[in-house]
Amino acid sequence: MPLTIRSQAYMGLLEHIAVAANEANSTNDSLQKALEYICQATGWALGHVFVSHQDNILRSANIWHISAQSQHPSLERFREDSEARPFAKGEGIPGRVYASGQPEWIINAQQDDTYLRHDSIIKTNLKSCFAFPVLTGNKVVAILEFYSLQAQRPDHTLLDVMKHIGVQLGRVFEREQSQQQLANRERRHRQILNSTADAFIAMNSQGEITAWNLAAQSIFGWRSEQALGRTVSELIVPQAFRQAHHDGMQRFLKSGKASILGQTLELPAMHNAGHEFPIEITLWSLQEKGEWSFFAFARDITERKRSQDELKHKALHDALTGLPNRILLLDRLSQHLEQRENRRSGLATLFVDLDHFKRINDSFGHEAGDRALIEVANRLRHAVRPVDTVARLAGDEFVIACPDIKSPRDAAIIAQRILDALAPPMQLQGDSIFLNASVGIALADTNSSAENLISAADIAMYEAKSSGRGEYQLFDERMQVQVTARLRVENDMRHALEHDKEQFCLHFQPIIESQSGDIVCLEALVRWQHPERGLLSPIEFIPMAEETGLIVPLGEWILELACQEAKRWEQLCQIQRPLDISVNLSGRQLAQADLVTTISNTLSHANIDPSRFRLGFEVTETEVMRDPATAATTLQTLRDLGAHLSIDDFGTGYSSLAYLKQFPVDTIKIDRSFITHIMDSPADQAIVSSVVYLAHALNHTVVAEGVETIAQADKLREMKVDYIQGYLFAKPQPAEQLLILINQQQGRLYQTAPN
């Protein structure tokens, strides 16, 4: 079978088994399907499953698949031998795979001295054998072995596919284990609930206790013989509430009405040991022969209250470091600002950002990065004063509220202590790493708010970074000008989006098919014709729009205008073949719950002829990796709408190749940083070749961005890059100009050299 066809078959096999694993009712069901699919896809005669037991021994799961043409009486003895023989780690091919966690291949088991079922297999027609592990994490839970009627050399591509299948099947084991654990927990919870009862208390009109069950004895600490005949007030009502309890009883006896009856209330109660604790109590009354009786069900809610307090604590504190979060920080700053006015004392806010912290995550992994953040938090706690509040905002950003500051020098001393505390190396995975930080300082004045202080300190921190990092900077009027300018841009954008969208326009840049030179796609890029500052490029306002959330309404406008242009081009564009219109999606947009609905409604309203134009979306590698599961779901829904999907700036983020196959994308766009020096950089050539190979193996096409020379274009065409984009062909330009160019060139912007 040719390599390409075989690879496609293996990819199809992966998809079939992934679906089967997802839909399987049990592990046995998924394993049986896996045997069947693998035998069908490979043409191998027989498949069999061994399962790991608690004693670390492999035993047959009695799960087999034997192809119809391979049925033979001689296989029965082999089957009996396999089901009767246990395998320890290292014994035979199952035991070796069990020990190594890696697939193994035997070309001819009948001639292999290490094969332990030699006597039974010698009477069969079986020759080649391979086996692979099913993994949950790093643990082997099962072994699948397969046999062929012919001796075959190892197929390393097949073995690589089997590794992925082993992981997929492992998820079924994990899911079944989780379901069993959940069922066990639910059963235990039911037993606990069925064995407990609320306290039941009955009393007469004088408040004397007439009934007191075992649960009441347990909750309040009074035995039944101690409680009966005594008043509820003296036994369980705290001293501070006894008069109110007495007055309420008297009012009810006179009027027969009380608002608390029939209600579930949370009240303090008194324990026999003398301490107060919270209870949840439901009261009702009954009148018989003119006499009132009162009844109550009560339960101790101490644990629930504690849980609520813990939830409140979690809502106000960072889960990783235990530091106050932004909500609590803002509250503390607001309190300090009020106290500052009363005491006439100073308040400083320090914004601490770790320099190059991303390198820690990239080099050592996110778990190590988390440990580093915990260590940083501890050092910050010890570096500041007891009255100061150290908070973590997000990622590697910390803010410190410092009340009772008498001068800028006091704040600078604290900032220097912070830098000194972070200077010593910390140990990560046996290596010493050094972390520096940049610190911005903002001092409160009469017009300060908590948010403004944080913003000002943030700006000062960026000034410290631009000055060389590892320093601190005090916010000053010059920086205030920058803040004011940024706020003005934000306000101008907000006004334009609400009242004057015509300030924005779209420029389009074509994407060219490398082999033919034909235009296949037009990427829509927003520009802002600012009434005072002129034409602004995206870099001057898109980051601010992302940060403030204005990217959401701006993105909706971009989508609407792109669809309108596509509809207009249906009449004006002289190219008859279909073209894609590609729109960029931001991280903020991906997080919008109504994104798909908005896009669907826009497409429906535009009524674009799909035979002429097709809408596509580009998302950056970094944005999809912020929440891979949600991104994959959203992208799949967009694809179901018929949209073409691309991963933009590939290679500049931190995605895992394991995630890449899960994203339902059509195209991978290689970032321009790998194209600029491709003519003289073997490293860039190797990276591009690898991405092309990977993309094509996953049935994705590839676009190279930033192509500026004919030599680059020819080189990329030789490297089998499907599409190219860059200033060599056309800069981003208004729709009218690009339409003229397209019609003049008949849609061909690149004359390729003959093959």
- How far CA 127 is from CA of 112, 151, 153, in Å, comes to 10, 5, 11
Place of tokens 């654990």: 181
Is the pLDDT at 105 greater than 60? The verdict is: yes
**pLDDT at residue 751, rounded to an integer:** 61
Out of 171-180, 202-211, 552-561, 568-577, least confident range: 568-577
**Other beta carbons less than 10 A from residue 253's beta carbon:** 12
- How far CA 216 is from CA of 200, 242, 450, in Å, comes to 6, 20, 49
Report pLDDT digits (tens) over 33-48.
999 999 998 889 999 9
**Please, what are the domains in the chain?**
3-183 (3.30.450.40), 199-304 (3.30.450.20), 337-475 (3.30.70.270), 506-527+551-745 (3.20.20.450)
**pLDDT at residue 12, rounded to an integer:** 81
How would residue 413 be classed by pLDDT, with cut points 50, 70 and 90?
very high
DSSP readout, 429-444? TTEEE---EEEEEEE-
Q: For a pLDDT cut of 70, what percent of the chain falls above it? A: 94
Q: Which residue has the higher pLDDT, 336 or 356?
A: 336
For residue 162, the one-letter residue type is M
Span 641-649, average pLDDT: 88
C-alpha–C-alpha distance, residues 661 and 693, integer Å? 13
**pLDDT at residue 190, rounded to an integer:** 39
Is the pLDDT at 208 greater than 70? The verdict is: yes
**pLDDT at residue 658, rounded to an integer:** 56
**pLDDT at residue 739, rounded to an integer:** 85
C-alpha–C-alpha distance, residues 170 and 728, integer Å? 49
DSSP readout, 545-568? HHHHTTHHHHHHHHHHHHHHHHHH
- How far CA 692 is from CA of 11, 122, 669, 697, in Å, comes to 17, 46, 10, 8
**pLDDT at residue 22, rounded to an integer:** 82
CA nearest to 102, candidates 72, 60, 134, 74: 134
C-alpha angle 294-297-300 in degrees, rounded to nearest 5: 135
Report pLDDT digits (tens) over 502-526.
999 999 999 999 998 888 999 999 9
Per the prediction, the chain carries an average pLDDT of: 87
Is the pLDDT at 750 greater than 80? The verdict is: no
For residue 388, the one-letter residue type is D
C-alpha–C-alpha distance, residues 337 and 427, integer Å? 39
C-alpha–C-alpha distance, residues 46 and 492, integer Å? 70
Report pLDDT digits (tens) over 727-740.
999 999 998 998 88
C-alpha–C-alpha distance, residues 82 and 76, integer Å? 10
**pLDDT at residue 323, rounded to an integer:** 95
Out of 193-197, 439-443, 615-619, least confident range: 193-197
Out of 16-20, 146-150, 440-444, 720-724, least confident range: 16-20
**Other beta carbons less than 10 A from residue 111's beta carbon:** 12
C-alpha–C-alpha distance, residues 457 and 489, integer Å? 20
Is the pLDDT at 195 greater than 80? The verdict is: no
Is the pLDDT at 350 greater than 60? The verdict is: yes
Is the pLDDT at 189 greater than 50? The verdict is: no
What are the tokens at 84? Answer: 């009767």
**pLDDT at residue 414, rounded to an integer:** 95
Paired with 211 in beta bridges are: 202
Span 133-143, average pLDDT: 93
- How far CA 215 is from CA of 190, 349, 524, 540, in Å, comes to 18, 53, 70, 68
Rg of the chain, C-alpha, whole Å: 36
Is the pLDDT at 661 greater than 90? The verdict is: no
**pLDDT at residue 235, rounded to an integer:** 93
How would residue 333 be classed by pLDDT, with cut points 50, 70 and 90?
very high
pTM over 0.75: no
**pLDDT at residue 447, rounded to an integer:** 82
Q: Which residues of 681-702 are buried (b: 16+ CB within 10 A; e: fewer)?
A: eeebbebbeebbebbbeeebbb
Whole-angstrom distance between the N-terminal and C-terminal Cα of the chain?
27
3-state secondary structure 293-330: EEEEEEEECHHHHHHHHHHHHHHHECCCCCCECHHHHH
User: Within the chain, what is the greatest distance between any pair of CA atoms?
Assistant: 110
Report pLDDT digits (tens) over 531-588.
988 988 888 888 888 878 899 999 999 999 999 998 888 888 877 778 899 999 988 8
**pLDDT at residue 657, rounded to an integer:** 59
Span 469-479, average pLDDT: 85
